[in-house]
Homo-oligomer: A and B are copies of this chain.
Amino acid sequence: MKELEERIIKDGKIINGDVLKVDSFLNHQMDPKLFKAMAKEWKRLYEGEGINKILTIEASGIGIACIAGLEFDCPVVFAKKSKTSNTPEHSYSSTVKSFTRGTVNDIFVSNKYLDPEDKVLILDDFMATGEAAKGLADIVHQSGAKLVGIGIAIEKAFQPGGDELRSMGIRVESLARIKEMSQEDGIIFC
């Protein structure tokens, strides 16, 4: 998606070689107008799929997912993180490793908010190793709902997450796919 790629070039910062900082518009300060354009693009890509629920994970997926919820005209559920490994009763849960932070979180979704009739779109801001998306997909499968696909704002295509999910037969639509990046050469998209 041209508008997102241009924004990444303009406002993204590469630090420590492989960390892309986009906290001026995506995951600390957020640009709701850009999120609306992204939502319209996912709506176009998944047109006719009957999506009736959006699933994301706290915290930085929530803004994107809520604005997409307006476009898709459906409820949005966010998976909560629990560090206690005490996930509440009556919930679907999975485990997510964060390679950037070196943490492991249990994530959970109340079983009231996903059911076998649901056609679910998973949305998130970033994909690298794909651990968060795999955890969310696991939760969708537990619920018996249909996973229609995954929408990602920025995929680090040089990391394995996106292709692993695609090889599992899951449709992944990333609006900006980074092929390579470095402080010297900048960002090259796929």
Contact = CB atoms under 8 A, between A and B. Distances in A.
Nearest to A83: B83
Contacts of A75: 25, 29-32
- Tallying the copies of this chain within the complex gives 2
Interface stretch (A41-49, A66-74, A137-145, A149-157): A66-74
B70 A67 contact: yes
Q: Bin the interface of chain A by size.
A: 20 to 34
A112 interface: yes
Nearest to A79: B28
Contacts of A33: 70, 73
A59 interface: yes
Contacts of A112: 24, 29
Interface of A: 23-25, 28-33, 35-36, 58-60, 62-67, 69-70, 73, 75-78, 80, 109-110, 112-113
